[in-house]
Structure 1
């Protein structure tokens, strides 16, 4: 495995430092997708956290690497059709959901390295104690809130027809974490109300999981961070009927207009899920751009309501050459 990783990292380094890579990336834009920056790297290393979380050391390592190889620009600068095309490729950072650690852990490092970012808020959570189901359910099952809370949730899941796989009792930490990751991914398709009921079976956190509006306005006032909508309730939009879809987009739009001075004219689909009906509704709410989760370079072509992004995990933040290799693969026609 170590040799395989070394080959991938070497391939990524060669891509960025070769004429092929330079030609392919010339004048192109790369949009990165992050979610959380935790307080320490060890917590972010576990597989069930790795995809959505990075640690502060890994995040700072990524920022230094990005500034070395890219022009780090605001998202809207990258999306403008008449923007100056520089010799170096451009990169824009985006964060999904609106986690509180974006202000506590990510923002100081963005300031330190003067890297702009866009944060897309699930607006119902901002300034409230409403919880993200993935975090509450996942950490309760992991045992972060104690064995009593864990066993209570396991029994509730069994009764409601969502029993845990045997591997979640594996003594190997990594295997158990991978099993939890797959289990949580399988819950994504549940009705939002059922996910809320599962969350309510978890113990409350001592602090809100999400940002509050004071933090949003303080970061916006710095000029380094701008904000856009990521749904209101974080419901997957393709699963909503027309009435609920319209209401979801309208509510998130209204919250941003009330809470920010300059909300972004960019929508960000929860979970990246979108279809023609959803894109039409987003356009009807005066959004010329929207972010998905398909991979690829941005060159001003393609559907502006399904912009590509490259996800950043703890693994790729620690080893950015792996991200470079993903960019190469995503850039191929």
Structure 2
């Protein structure tokens, strides 16, 4: 595995530093997808956190690397480019969900490096005590809130026919965390009602998980951050009937219009899930652009309602040449 990673990193470095790579990326845009920036890199290294979480040292390393190889621009500079052309490829950072640590941990580093970003809010969570199920269930099962809370949640899972795998009690932290990651991914098939029931069975954290509207307005006033909708309840849009889908889209749009001065004309699909029906509803709600999770670079010819992004994990933030390898694969004709 180490040799494979080394080959990817070397290939990625060569691509960004070659005439072929520069030619392929000329005039192109790269959109990155992040979620959280934790206060501690060791916490972000664990497999069940790695995909959605980045530590501050890794994030700062990523920002320095991006500034070296790309023009770091607001998202709309990629989606609606002006007349000024740069010889360097453009990159835009996006954050999904609206986590409180976007303001506490990510923003100071974005400000330090003067890198703009777009944050897509699951608007029902903003300014409320409502919690993201993945975080609450995952951390309770990881025993972050004590054994009593963990035992109670395990009992609730058993009642739903989802017993905790034995590997989630493995004494090795890496294996235990990887097993928890796979278990959490499997829970995505549960209904929103069941996931809410499990989340309610978890202890209340001392602080809300999401941003509040004061933080949103303060970040927007900085001129470095803009906001767009990422659903209202974070429900998977493809699983909603037409009426519920329209209500979800309307509620998130109205919340942004009320809470921001310049909300982005871009929708961001929860979990990236979309189909032709969902895209048509998004267009009917006057969104000319929407972000998915398919990988690729943006050249202006892509479906504007299924824009590609590259996900950034703790692993790729620490080793950005792995990201350049993925960009290389996404840029191939």
Q: Is the TM-score greater than 0.5?
A: yes
Cα pair 1:81 1:300 within 8 Å, conserved: no
Which residue of the partner structure matches residue 197 of structure 2? 197
Which residues of 2 match residues 1-333 of structure 1 at below 5 A? Answer: 1-333=1-333
The total of aligned residue pairs comes to 333
TM-score (norm: length of structure 1) = 0.99
Q: Give distance in 2, aligned partners of 1:63 and 1:247.
A: 37
Q: Give distance in 1, aligned partners of 2:219 and 2:39.
A: 19
Q: Give distance in 1, aligned partners of 2:18 and 2:234.
A: 41
Cα pair 1:230 1:267 within 8 Å, conserved: yes
Q: What is the CA deviation profile of residues 118-174 of structure 1, one whole-angstrom value per residue up to 9, with x for unaligned ones?
A: 000000000000000000000000110011111110111011111111211111111
Gaps of 5+ in 1: none
Cα pair 1:77 1:83 within 8 Å, conserved: no
Q: Give distance in 2, aligned partners of 1:33 and 1:276.
A: 22
Q: Give distance in 2, aligned partners of 1:182 and 1:270.
A: 19
User: Which runs of structure 1 show a deviation greater than 6 angstroms over 4 or more consecutive aligned residues?
Assistant: none
Alpha-carbon shift at residue 189 of structure 1 (Å): 2.2
2:149 alignment partner, SS class:
helix
1:94 alignment partner, SS class:
strand
Q: Give distance in 1, aligned partners of 2:265 and 2:323.
A: 27
1:182 alignment partner, SS class:
helix
The 1:166/1:27 distance shift into structure 2, 3 A limit, reads same
TM-score (norm: length of structure 2) = 0.99
1:120 alignment partner, SS class:
strand
Alpha-carbon shift at residue 9 of structure 1 (Å): 1.1
1:209 alignment partner, SS class:
coil
What CA RMSD, in Å, does the superposition of the two structures yield over aligned residues? 0.8
Q: Give distance in 2, aligned partners of 1:78 and 1:316.
A: 22
Q: Give distance in 2, aligned partners of 1:278 and 1:287.
A: 12
Q: Give distance in 1, aligned partners of 2:295 and 2:243.
A: 30
Q: Give distance in 1, aligned partners of 2:174 and 2:83.
A: 45
1:188 alignment partner, SS class:
helix
Alpha-carbon shift at residue 2 of structure 1 (Å): 2.5
Cα pair 1:131 1:209 within 8 Å, conserved: yes
